[in-house]
C-alpha cells in the first residue's frame, strides 16, 4: 500500500504546511538525508496547542499533540520530496517536551509521534530517538520534534 493511502486508511489527514516560526527553513535535503527542523503542534487553522505537561496539558493530550506534530512533519516532508514513498526510513528523532521539573514521562509523550510513524511506515518508522524535558518551548507549545529521514 502506498504511504498516502496508508495515512488515509488510518483516518489521518495531512494538514497545511506550517510556516517557519523564525529565520530558518523547515527542511533541508543533503544527499539522501532529509533534516526536518523542529515542528510543533499546529492545527489546520494555524493555531498552536499550548501548555506545560502535565500541569496544563495531560499526558494523553501531550501524546496527541506529538501525533499532530508528526502530521505536520509529514506535510513538510512531502512538500520537500514530492512523494512519501521515497522514504527509506526514519533515522533519528529528537523529541522535546515542555515539562514541569518533576515530570518523568517524556518518552511516553514522544511515543505519540513514534507510534504513528510505525503505524504509517512500519519498521522504517522506528528509529534512534531522544525524548527530553525542557523548561519551556517556543509559544509555550507542549512538544517540539525534529527528525532525520533517509530517502530511497
Residue boundaries of the structural domains of the chain: 3-11+24-151
| Average pLDDT of the segment spanning 132-139 | 97
> C-alpha angle 147/88/26, rounded to 5°?
30
- What element of type H or E holds 70? helix 59-81
Distance CA 41, CA 136 (A): 15
CATH number 3.30.2030.30 is the correct assignment for the domain at 3-11+24-151: no
pTM, 2 dp = 0.96
pLDDT class of 6 with cuts at 50, 70, 90: very high
Q: What grid cell was written down for 7?
A: 495515512
Residues contacting residue 131 through CB under 8 Å, at least 6 positions apart: 95, 97, 106, 107, 109, 110
Res 88 pLDDT > 90: yes
For the chain, the first-to-last Cα distance in angstroms comes to 17
pLDDT class of 19 with cuts at 50, 70, 90: confident
Amino acid at each position: 500500500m502506498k504511504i498516502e493511502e496508508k495515512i488515509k486508511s488510518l483516518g489521518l489527514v495531512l494538514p497545511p504546511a506550517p510556516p517557519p516560526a523564525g529565520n530558518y527553513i523547515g527542511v533541508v535535503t543533503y544527499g539522501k538525508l532529509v533534516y526536518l527542523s523542529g515542528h510543533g503542534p499546529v492545527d489546520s487553522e494555524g493555531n498552536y496547542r499550548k501548555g506545560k505537561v502535565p500541569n496544563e496539558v495531560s499526558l494523553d493530550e501531550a501524546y496527541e499533540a506529538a501525533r499532530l506534530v508528526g502530521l505536520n512533519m509529514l506535510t513538510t516532508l512531502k512538500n520537500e520530496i514530492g512523494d512519501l514513498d521515497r522514504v527509506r526510513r526514519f533515522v533519528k528523532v529528537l523529541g522535546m517536551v515542555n515539562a514541569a521539573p518533576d515530570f518523568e514521562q517524556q518518552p511516553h509523550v514522544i511515543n505519540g509521534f513514534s507510534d504513528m510513524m510505525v503505524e504509517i511506515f512500519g519498521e522504517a518508522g522506528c528509529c534512534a530517538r531522544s525524548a527530553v524535558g525542557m523548561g519551556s518551548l517556543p509559544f509555550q507549545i507542549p512538544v517540539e520534534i525534529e527528525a532525520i529521514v533517509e530517502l530511497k
